[in-house]
Amino acid sequence: MRALCVFRLGLWGLILVVLAGTSYAADLSIYDVQYTTDASGNSPYYGEIHNVLGGVVTHVWHGFNDRVYLQDPANPTWGAIVVKDGEGGELSNNVNVGDWVSFADIYIDESRGTTFLQYRRSDAPDVGFTVESTGNAVPDALVLTAADIPAPLEYAGDEWYVLNHDAEPYESMMVTLEDVVVTQLGLGKADDNYELSQGSDIAWAADYMNVDAGGLYDPRIATGVELLSITGVVEQYTKTSDGWDYYQLVTRSAADIVPEPGSVAFLAAGIILLVRRWRR
């Protein structure tokens, strides 16, 4: 909490007021919260309470700790953030994609490598949000290559670590990869990641926040499927005690996955043919 200290100085009773404490609610943009030169990727405001000017809602996910993703179209990097709703849907049930949402007195947190805003009164008793406007255009996804959000490398003991954190500026932002091939499934800490190959470069993706997936993966995701494009938000997962540190592109809906025309049908036909031969 803020501490108020008052000192009386001089013959004219000059009053010096000093405000101290981590909860001073200065107004910050998403860029202010996210941009960092710290090798850990931690926000310079980690552990503090601030007003955050916010951005356009790009995705709302209802799951364990509902999440709301925001992006400020003014910033092509360091321009997005995820808000975790720890108040039983008070936030996530009352905002929609395209809303511009701002926050008062919200706690800035870090978890598993990701910077996020914690909408939880146990951390920030006076936290609140405002829908500033509705019907805003969702910012265009940034077109990247697999090399921009590279997959981790495997090390001894089934440990997987990225070589560096150069993908940090894209955290929570909407990005698109084009002309990729699904080359492996069953990866990552939950065995739900799949590998996207783009030439010699590889990235990881997941569908666990995809509202249309209906299972571990979107039904069209299978080894060998060629994708014209795949879009999602970039998430980091770091838990080195379990051997994990990686970035993943997380799809939001079926519309985020655009297969090469005929690719899924061709693969399905091949599987049917193999099954028929096996039954003989």
Structural contact between residues 83 and 67, judged by C-beta atoms closer than 8 angstroms: yes
Half-sphere exposure of 252 (CA within 13 A, CB side): 21
* Non-local CB neighbours of 179 within 8 Å, separated by 6+ positions: 198, 226, 227, 228, 229
**Residues 117 and 47 occupy one common structural domain:** yes
| DSSP string over 21-63 | STT---EE-HHHHH----TT---TTTT-EEEEEEEEEEEEE-S
Distance in angstroms (rounded) separating the CA atoms of residues 116 and 171 = 10
Examine the fold and report which residue of 100, 133, 166 is the final residue of a domain before the chain moves on: 133
pTM of the model: 0.85
**Residues 202 and 167 occupy one common structural domain:** yes
Enclosing domain of residue 30: 25-133
Examine the fold and report which residue of 86, 104, 133 is the final residue of a domain before the chain moves on: 133
**Residues 167 and 86 occupy one common structural domain:** no
State pLDDT tens for residues 211-251: 999 999 999 999 999 999 999 999 999 999 999 999 999 99
**Residues 129 and 148 occupy one common structural domain:** no
State pLDDT tens for residues 157-178: 899 999 999 999 999 999 999 9
* 232-142-233 Cα angle (round to 5): 20
Q: How many domains does the chain have?
A: 2
Examine the fold and report which residue of 102, 133, 164 is the final residue of a domain before the chain moves on: 133
**Residues 40 and 69 occupy one common structural domain:** yes
Distance in angstroms (rounded) separating the CA atoms of residues 121 and 127 = 6
State pLDDT tens for residues 55-70: 999 999 998 889 999 9
Mean pLDDT to the nearest integer, 34-40: 91
Q: For the chain, how many residues are written?
A: 280
